[in-house]
Amino acid sequence: MKEINGKMFKQMVLSGAIVLHNNHPEVDALNVFPVPDGDTGTNMSLTFNSGAEQVEKLADDTSIGDIAKTLSKGLLMGARGNSGVILSQLFRGFTKVIAEYDELTVQILSDAFQKGTETAYKAVMKPKEGTILTVAKGMSD
């Protein structure tokens, strides 16, 4: 596969929400910063599900840009905890890059991950390494 169209992207979002929901306890267990409150996975899952619920309502032939905008808005409106807000910012930046494309290539996807990481870092007053920000940076690199 060399390109992702809107229908595939929508399915990726919906599948991602299921995978995150099913694995949120493992992410909760990883949470140790700034305090080991054990809710990072739960908050990320609730946040992402908020966006995915909005995406699910869209037609299968919806453009990638419209899916991304809908997801980003849903994430922001449903953000829970710091991890949810950071997740929403990752997708806010991601959306800025892919908003005008009908299909995603490897290069566009790479650029979108990079922009998402930059946006999330800028949204945090004092970014700390060893957090979801570090994971995002590693993925975008």
Q: How confident is the model over 24-61, as pLDDT tens digits?
A: 999 888 876 666 778 888 999 999 999 999 999 999 99
Are residues 79 and 85 in contact, defined by beta-carbon separation less than 8 angstroms? Answer: yes
CA 136 → CA 29, 86, 99, 101, 128, distances in Å? 19, 10, 20, 22, 12
Please state the pTM of the whole predicted model. Answer: 0.90
